A and B are shown apart, each in its own frame.
Chain A
Amino acid sequence: MISAFLNYDFLQHALWTGVMVGFLAPVIGVFIVVRRLALITDALSHITLTGIAFHLLLAQTFTFLQLYNPLYMGMGFAVVSSLLIEKLRRLYTAYQELSVPIMLSTGIGLGVVFISLADGFNNDLFQYLFGSIIAVTEEDFLAISALTVIVTGLLLLFYKELMFLSFDEEQAKVNGIAGRSINTMFIIMTALVIASSMKVVGILLVSSLMTLPVAAAVQLSKSFKQMFFYAVMIGECSVITGMLTAFYLDVSSGGMIVMTSLFILLIVLGFRKAAGMPARLLKRREPSAEFE
């Protein structure tokens, strides 16, 4: 089955792009989930759609724009709004999550205006909403390859600092960690990963690829490092299974990927329950042995 899949050049691009997205999205997702900012991915993905719609609208008047990939405009929008989110997050320290609905509504509002100005939905936009592996071009493939190398490198180099900031931002700053610049770098990476996952999983579903594998990994891991291992394993399983089934069943790849990761999450939850370790037991406190 897979060998037939690999006979088509365009499907190979799609598959390798999917494998990269299946790695990037959960890895970034681990940091986002532990920071309790899972919904940020939704805000950023909607803003990406706004950028894409803006590009398609402009391209109607400035035809030379049709030569360019609208994804870049989406990435631009996502990066700018990620910086705004970071700014809002500092403004509302006690209600950090408020930054998310503010950007989410901005994104949807603007997006709807652009789409209606461009005379409604066309086929292109539909691909971005739900993802389509057939739509992955060689250019997308190359752009995402470059992004994978950069993001992986940065995450390895700044792993310590990102972990500390996610665990306890204030303490990390007291220890002299440059919180502001590292947070900014991280949110930009998040925006870029979200924008580039668009073709494979679609705007409405990017956030699920960033959160569902992590939700399952939380149940399985004993340490922070293990979270990455499990999240990536589950992410890759979901992407590969989802893409293959989507191709053979001729349905949307994004939908199949999300259904697979949801299925894995349910198995993990069921497995934990069967093993007599329901999730809430993780929270149980040890009998206290204080400063003895």
Chain B
Amino acid sequence: MSILNNYFFRSNEYISRLYLIVSSLTTFGLITLYSISNDPLSINSSFIRQIIFIIFSLLVFFILSNINVKTIHDNSTLIYIFSFLLCLIPFFLPPVENTYRWIDLGFFYIQPGEYLKCATIILIAKYLSNHQLEVKEGYIVFIPILIAFLSSFLVLNQPDLGTAVIIFAPVLPMMLWAGVNGFTIFLLITPVITIIAASNNLIFNIWGVLMFIIFLFFQGSFLKRVLIYFANIFTGLLFPFFWNDFLNGYQRQRFIDFLNPDLDPMGSSYHIIQSMTAIGSGGLFGKGWGQGSQTQLKFLPVQESDFILSVIAEEFGFFGISVIMFLFFMLIKTLLDIAFKSTDYFSSIVIIGLSSILFSHIFINSAMTIGLMPVKGLPTPFVSAGGSFMLLCFIMLSLINIFSRN
């Protein structure tokens, strides 16, 4: 018992709250999967498979929880290189569904890109925590961004736009947490806004003026500000070329479909329309467990993973979604609390990174089901069916467990 105590029961009140939330979410996921499956008790149903994945993930969780923070800290570069190489393997294997995202283990597909997310966070956290004296300086941001860029560049070539975006998601919160100053962070956001603004001449001009005013009031050398300002403007002007020549057809298509879902009702925006129909028709209290016609009649695509929230919304209504959203909120809030209370800088930053990854999954996935974002193949943490991602969630959970042990 003492060993278990060491890794599990000894945990503080935040950790036990976390376990409660995670078990609620997985239970909710299982209930939903049971409703979706035609024959829930057969060995091939997503329900039973999910149970098997959870048990397997729990085992991995217990094993990994034995590692201590120092081991991870000291070997973070090694972990990153290992994950990076793992991501290269699929390129030497036959493609699965025309992509190089998966490694087929026979009984199970793993998606190495998922683990690269964690490795990237750990490496960035190590860098930030080791350079705490320089964080006030602007140049500190280059190394973390370079690491994130390296990872996401690899993933983008698999191609997996969703994961590539997720890899960038933790960078800003982690830097903010580490104390990088507000202007630097603003500088990092500006290119993104510039790119979005570039789609429309008027908006681009307004943004150009707005950016000019903000740059005037911030500190730093005049030359630096002018250079960054014009770099932004050029990014905006070059973006259309990037859009046309650099993005894959399907990526562009998904983005366009997102902007106007009614254009192609049977194509990729079919997903969005069906999902919104499922959600909207759920109403306040839902159609009842196993009663969702959109779900049960298979109008709703990839309902056991990417669109599982739509199933919940249809069958349990706004009430059910509110419960799920509350659980997600509590999950992330608890992680923030843990990070805030943590006595160790490195651990604290890693937890912020992990919570950013979880939250970006939650946000992008939910926003996608309700038509606020383009369709990306991103599952919902702890709820969606899928072995590789469930395993990743529990690996993150074990990292959280490890990093909160002080």
Chains A and B come from one and the same complex = no
Chain B residues with CB under 8 Å of chain A are none
Chain A residues with CB under 8 Å of chain B are none
